[in-house]
């Protein structure tokens, strides 16, 4: 099998920073699921394509890329599309001057979509002759949806933050992907709902805004499910990579809240210094959280040459879970 590496990651955060008073008038939610973030970023006028372009510019500078020649695949996942019916991959290719063989706009797997798209790109690179893949995650629902005056007083609205994270996979390289494990559980797909209080379908004209709804029963089930799924799939990825969980040098997960982040680390018996998280400053940045947190870990020197990085997480109400193991700068 061809060796494929994660060459690097880069991120972009919108300029606007929002504190908790914006949502609660100074009263933090009492529910532990919705606590812990001190600030988060919100998009204003920028589009998903703008965000990807800005993150990709940083990545190109880091890796000395010629975007016209060095990008064979583009994969995107955007939480709140700029335009219904179409993804943004073609616009991204045009904006950054790339000439990819394939463009895939992925509209599932949510908070763990970075790892899912790694798996898709990995498979395509094994079979199509493509030698590189640009993976793009945009979370932009915080400023577009959760900031609405009728929505922002709900406890879950303070959790999301907006961000973009991008990564480049290459054939060869010195940071090989040792394993990728993914799983889906369709029976949980309906446990998170988009609600329209007018009773209309989401696409119909309406007087009130849409929002994501969690009932107390669903929250309890999601907590239990998430606590189980993520350590399990990380252990599976470590087994396939032929390492033990004690060999993990850095743990990077999606960032739903501080409880999950702590529970996953403790379930894997890892010390705090082996985990990097961005939730307190950025909130839950959905699919962008893994590349954003990974960039922080690299920039802060947490990840050393030869270190095994474990990426992992779950999405929505637990209908997707995924993990990957990468040996950073192994040679």
Instruction: Please state the domain extents for the chain.
Output: 4-173, 178-327
Maximum separation of any 2 CA atoms in the chain, in Å: 58
pLDDT in tens, the chain (331 residues): 899 999 999 999 999 999 988 887 656 666 665 567 889 999 999 999 999 999 999 999 999 999 999 999 999 999 999 988 889 999 999 999 999 999 999 988 889 999 999 999 999 999 999 999 999 999 999 999 889 888 888 878 889 999 999 999 999 999 999 999 999 987 877 777 677 667 676 666 667 777 776 655 677 778 888 899 999 999 999 999 999 999 999 999 999 999 999 999 999 999 999 999 999 999 999 999 999 999 999 999 999 999 999 999 999 878 899 999 999 987 6
Distance CA 281, CA 18 (A): 10
pLDDT of residue 223: 82
CA 312 distance to own-chain centroid: 10
Q: Is the dihedral of CA 36, 136, 154, 156 positive or negative?
A: negative
CA neighbours closer than 13 Å in the CB half-sphere of residue 205 = 0
pLDDT of residue 187: 80
pLDDT of residue 1: 81
- Same fold for the domain at 4-173 and the one at 178-327? yes
In this structure, the chain runs to a length of 331
CA 124 distance to own-chain centroid: 21
**pTM, whole model, 2 decimals?**
0.93
CATH code of the domain made up of 4-173: 3.40.47.10
Distance CA 189, CA 222 (A): 11
Select the CATH number that applies to the domain covering 178-327 from these four: 2.40.50.180, 3.40.50.150, 3.40.120.10, 3.40.47.10: 3.40.47.10
pLDDT of residue 219: 76
Show the 3-state SS of the chain: CCCEEEEEEEEECCCEEEECHHHHCCCCCCCHHHCCCCEEEECCCCCHHHHHHHHHHHHHHHHCCCCCCCCCEEEEEECCCCCCCCCCHHHHHHHHCCCCCEEEECCCCHHHHHHHHHHHHHHHHHHCCCCEEEEEEEECHHHHHHCCCCCCCCHHHHCECCEEEEEEEEECCCCEEEEEEEEECHHHHHHCEEECCCCCCCCCCCCCCCEEECCHHHHHHHHHHHHHHHHHHHHHHHHHCCCCHHHEEEEEECCCCHHHHHHHHHHCCCCHHHECCCHHHHCECHHHHHHHHHHHHHHCCCCCCCCEEEEEEEECCCCEEEEEEEECCCC
pLDDT of residue 27: 61
pLDDT of residue 33: 54
């Amino acid at each position: 099998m061809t060796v494929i590496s994660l060459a690097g990651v880069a991120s972009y955060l919108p300029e606007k920073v929002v504190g908790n008073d914006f949502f609660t008038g100074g009263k933090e939610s009492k529910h532990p699921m919705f606590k812990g973030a001190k600030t988060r970023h919100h998009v204003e006028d920028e589009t998903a394509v703008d965000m990807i372009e800005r993150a990709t510019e940083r990545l190109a500078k880091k890796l000395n890329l010629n975007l016209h020649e060095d990008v064979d695949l583009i994969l995107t996942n955007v939480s709140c599309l700029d335009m219904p019916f179409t993804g943004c991959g073609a616009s991204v290719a045009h904006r950054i001057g790339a000439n990819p063989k394939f463009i895939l706009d992925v509209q599932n797997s949510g908070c763990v979509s970075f790892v899912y798209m790694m798996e898709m790109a990995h498979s395509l690179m094994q079979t199509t002759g493509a030698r590189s893949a640009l993976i793009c995650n945009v979370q932009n629902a915080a400023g577009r949806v959760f900031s609405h005056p009728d929505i922002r007083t709900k406890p879950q609205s303070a959790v999301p933050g907006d961000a973009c994270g991008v990564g480049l996979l290459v054939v060869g390289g010195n940071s090989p992907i040792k394993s990728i494990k993914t799983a889906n559980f369709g029976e949980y797909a309906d446990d998170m709902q988009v609600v329209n209080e007018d009773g209309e379908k989401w696409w119909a004209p309406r007087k009130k805004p849409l929002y994501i709804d969690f009932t107390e029963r669903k929250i309890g089930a999601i907590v239990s499910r998430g606590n189980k799924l993520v350590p399990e799939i990380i252990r599976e990825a470590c087994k396939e990579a032929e390492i033990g969980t004690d060999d993990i040098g850095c743990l990077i997960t999606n960032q739903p809240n501080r409880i999950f982040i702590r529970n996953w680390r403790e379930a894997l018996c890892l010390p705090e210094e082996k985990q990097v998280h961005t939730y307190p400053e950025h909130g839950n940045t959905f699919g962008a959280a893994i590349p954003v947190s990974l960039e922080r870990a690299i920039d802060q020197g947490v990840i050393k040459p030869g270190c095994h990085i474990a990426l992992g997480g779950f999405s929505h109400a637990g209908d997707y879970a995924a993990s990957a193991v990468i040996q950073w700068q192994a040679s």
